[in-house]
Amino acid sequence: MGEPVLFEIDERGVATITLNRPERLNAINMAMRDLLWEYLEACRDNPDVRAILFRGEGRAFSAGADISEFGTASSLWASRRARHERDVWGLMLSLPVPLVARMHGFCFGAGLELPLCCDVRVAAEDTQFALPEVTLGYIPSAGGTQTLPRTIPPGAAADLILTGEPVGTAEALRWGLITRVAPAAALDAAVEAAVMELLAGSFAPKRPRL
């Protein structure tokens, strides 16, 4: 199966970061967070990188955080320190190049919060979006309570955050949760079109940190 996160940069300067735990629907664990941090730092420090594409292998973009790791840190302090020292989501928001998310299947929890840090979010028609961790008593831990109401109308954000209920692409597109939608068979073509449009642009705005 290889590394749980894959990384490559093509000749155009497009970096592709692939979540690669398809057997767990790309549930994000600490090893994946560490690799995401490493690859994002590499993108930040490489002047040849012009855009970054995030995608997921298998049936889903990501089903969220790997709950089997919840509570396994040596202490709450250690857990918070690890998040502070490797703030993946803050690093994403600080990057000066455009970020694109290729979304399909399930985009739940952190699997929704990661794309919320992207500039362009392209989804397959049958994609589902939710923050189901709230039904287990957890607060979205990847910045979703901040990025979501900055991205979609406050009422829609409250609905997603408070209920944990999934929504489909029709509502997601209407709210601005995603920016483009395509049939599943045409998703790669739609993503490539978005990337090409970004590369043709004259600048990539720098976005503020949360």
Find out whether 198 and 204 touch, Cβ atoms under 8 Å.
yes
Whole-angstrom distance, CA of residue 37 vs CA of residue 81:
15
Among the residues of 68-183, which ranges form H helices?
Answer: 76-85, 88-94, 110-116, 144-151, 154-163, 169-175
Beta bridge pairs of residue 53: 16, 100
Structure tokens at 200: 């043709």
DSSP 66-98: -GGGTT-SS-HHHHHHHHHHT-HHHHHHH-SS-
Catalytic residue among 8, 38, 69, 113: 113
Concerning whether 38 is annotated as a catalytic residue, the answer is no
Compute CA 3 distance to the chain's CA centroid, rounded to the nearest angstrom: 18
Structure tokens at 195: 């990337």
Q: Between β-strands 5-9 and 14-19, what pairing exists: parallel, antiparallel or unpaired?
A: antiparallel
Query: Which of 40, 44, 51, 39 has the alpha carbon at shortest distance from 13?
Result: 51
Whole-angstrom distance, CA of residue 153 vs CA of residue 144:
14
Whole-angstrom distance, CA of residue 94 vs CA of residue 78:
24
Concerning whether 8 is annotated as a catalytic residue, the answer is no
Catalytic residue among 133, 165, 171, 197: 133
Positions annotated as catalytic residues are 113, 133
